[in-house]
C-alpha cells in the first residue's frame, strides 16, 4: 500500500477552468447576469421588483437587470445595457433610478465587475437594527471582513450626492449594510459576487436565529476561519456553477 501523503490541491488549482471542467456551457454576460439574479432571488434577495445588479462590460458600459421585472422571471434577453451616465443604450426595458449608486462605485473601483443592491430578507433585519451580525459558523465566515455599516441613509439613493456618499462610505470594502435600507455587495466577478451575496444573507439569517435563543458563541479567532476565508478571492470553487445549473434545470428559458 502506498503510504505517501497526498498533496491537498490549492483553491486556485480547484477553480473551474474553461475547457477543463464542463460545469456550465459558455455563457454570455447577459446569461450570467440573469442566472445571478435567479440564484440570489432563491437565497432571499426577493423584495418584489426592488434591487439591481450591474455587470461591467469592460468598455465603459454596464449590463443591468431592468427595473420592471422581478429577479425570478428574468431571462438573458431582458438584460439591458447602460452607458457611463446610466442612459439605456441597449434593450427594451427601463433602468432603475438608483443606477447612480452603482455607477458611483464602478467609477471609484475599477477592480470591480459586479455591484449588487437589494433589500434581502435577512440582511434587511440587521439593516433596520443598525447592527452587524456576528459570525457563528464557517459558512458565515467566507468573507474576511465585517460589512461596512452606512448609517446616513436619507430615504433614497436616487440623487447624485447620496450615491456618491454611499460609494465613499464603502471605500475599499467588499460589502455593506445600508441602515434602514438593505445590502450592498461588490465583487471582481460573478462567481465572487455570488459567494459574497449568499454568505451575507446566511450570516444575517443564522445570527438572527441564534440571538433569538438569547445565547451564542461567535467565532472571533481569525485562525478558526482561515480555511473558509480562502474561498473569497476566487468565489467558492464549483458553488456558483452548481447553483447556476440548478436554475437552468428549473427553467432553461433563463438563457434565452
Q: How many CB atoms lie within 10 A of CB 95?
A: 21
CB neighbour list of residue 220: distance below 8 Å, 6 or more residues apart: 135
Residue 164 lies in a domain: yes
Residue 174 lies in a domain: yes
Residue 35 lies in a domain: yes
Per-residue pLDDT in tens (0 to 9) along the chain, 256 residues: 455 555 545 555 555 555 555 688 899 999 999 999 999 999 999 999 999 999 999 999 999 999 999 999 999 999 999 999 999 999 999 999 989 989 999 999 999 999 999 999 999 999 999 999 999 999 999 999 999 999 876 555 555 676 677 778 888 889 999 999 999 999 999 999 999 999 999 999 999 999 999 888 999 888 888 888 888 887 888 999 999 999 999 999 999 9
Residue 68 lies in a domain: yes
Q: What is the pTM of this model?
A: 0.89
Residue 2 lies in a domain: no
What integer pLDDT is reported at residue 1 of this predicted model? Answer: 46
What integer pLDDT is reported at residue 101 of this predicted model? Answer: 87
Residue 178 lies in a domain: yes
Residue 11 lies in a domain: no
What integer pLDDT is reported at residue 229 of this predicted model? Answer: 87
Contact (CB, 8 A) for 69 and 49 = yes
What integer pLDDT is reported at residue 245 of this predicted model? Answer: 95
How far apart, in whole angstroms, are the C-alpha atoms of residue 154 and residue 212? Answer: 29
Q: Into how many domains does the chain fold?
A: 1
Residue 127 lies in a domain: yes
Side-chain half-sphere exposure of 194, counting CA atoms within 13 A: 25
The tens digit of pLDDT for each residue in 162-203 reads: 667 777 888 888 999 999 999 999 999 999 999 999 999 999
Contact (CB, 8 A) for 175 and 186 = yes
Instruction: Kindly report the CATH number assigned to the domain that includes residue 242.
Output: 3.40.225.10
C-alpha 244: how far from its chain's center?
Answer: 14
Q: Please give the residue range of the domain that contains residue 61.
A: 27-255
Amino acid at each position: 500500500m502506498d503510504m505517501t501523503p497526498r498533496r491537498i490541491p490549492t483553491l486556485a488549482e480547484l477553480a473551474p477552468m474553461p475547457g477543463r471542467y464542463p460545469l456550465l456551457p459558455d455563457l454570455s454576460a447577459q446569461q450570467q447576469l440573469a442566472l445571478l439574479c435567479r440564484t440570489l432571488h432563491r437565497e432571499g434577495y426577493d423584495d418584489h421588483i426592488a434591487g439591481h445588479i450591474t455587470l461591467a462590460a469592460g468598455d465603459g458600459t454596464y449590463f443591468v437587470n431592468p427595473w420592471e421585472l422581478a429577479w425570478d422571471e428574468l431571462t438573458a434577453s431582458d438584460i439591458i445595457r447602460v452607458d457611463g451616465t446610466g442612459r439605456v443604450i441597449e434593450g427594451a426595458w427601463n433602468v432603475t433610478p438608483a443606477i447612480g449608486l452603482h455607477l458611483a462605485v464602478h467609477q471609484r473601483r475599477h477592480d470591480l465587475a459586479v455591484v449588487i443592491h437589494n433589500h434581502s430578507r435577512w440582511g434587511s433585519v440587521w439593516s433596520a437594527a443598525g447592527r452587524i451580525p456576528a459570525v457563528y459558523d464557517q459558512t458565515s465566515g467566507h468573507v474576511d471582513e465585517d460589512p461596512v455599516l452606512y448609517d446616513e441613509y436619507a430615504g433614497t439613493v436616487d440623487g447624485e450626492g447620496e450615491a456618491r456618499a454611499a460609494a465613499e462610505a464603502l471605500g475599499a470594502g467588499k460589502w455593506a449594510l445600508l441602515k434602514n435600507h438593505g445590502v450592498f455587495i461588490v465583487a471582481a466577478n460573478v462567481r465572487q459576487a455570488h459567494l459574497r451575496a449568499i454568505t451575507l444573507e446566511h450570516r444575517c439569517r443564522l445570527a438572527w436565529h441564534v440571538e433569538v435563543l438569547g445565547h451564542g458563541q461567535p467565532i472571533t479567532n481569525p485562525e478558526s476561519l482561515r480555511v473558509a476565508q480562502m474561498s473569497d478571492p476566487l468565489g467558492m470553487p464549483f458553488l456558483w456553477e452548481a447553483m447556476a445549473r440548478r436554475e437552468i434545470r428549473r427553467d432553461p428559458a433563463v438563457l434565452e
